Amino acid sequence: MKRLAPVLMFAALLVSAPAQAGEDECQALFVQTAEGMTSDAATLTLKEVNPIIIFFCDRPVRVAGHMSFDAFIEFVSQAENSFAENPPNAAVSVFGAGDEVTAVVVTLTHRPRASGGDLIYDIKVLEGELPPAGGPVALFIDPIGHPLSPNSVAGVHRRHERRAIRR
Mapped onto helix, strand or coil, the DSSP state of residue 37 is: strand
pLDDT at 105: 96
Answer whether 163's CB lies under 8 Å from 157's CB. Answer: no
pLDDT at 27: 78
pLDDT at 141: 92
Instruction: Count other Cβ atoms within 10 Å, centred on residue 92.
Output: 27
Q: Is residue 72 part of a domain?
A: yes
Q: Is residue 1 part of a domain?
A: no
How many domains is the chain built from?
A: 1
Q: Is residue 42 part of a domain?
A: yes
Distances, alpha carbon 157 to alpha carbons 28, 46, 108, 122, 138, in Å: 17, 22, 16, 21, 15
Q: Is residue 161 part of a domain?
A: yes
Q: Is residue 133 part of a domain?
A: yes
Per the structure, the complete domain to which residue 68 belongs is given by: 6-19+26-166
Answer whether 27's CB lies under 8 Å from 37's CB. Answer: no
pLDDT at 107: 93
pLDDT at 80: 60
pTM beyond 0.75: no
Q: Is residue 69 part of a domain?
A: yes
Give the pLDDT means over successive 10-residue stretches in the chain (167 positions). Answer: 37 40 68 95 94 85 86 73 78 87 92 89 94 94 61 47 48
pLDDT at 152: 47
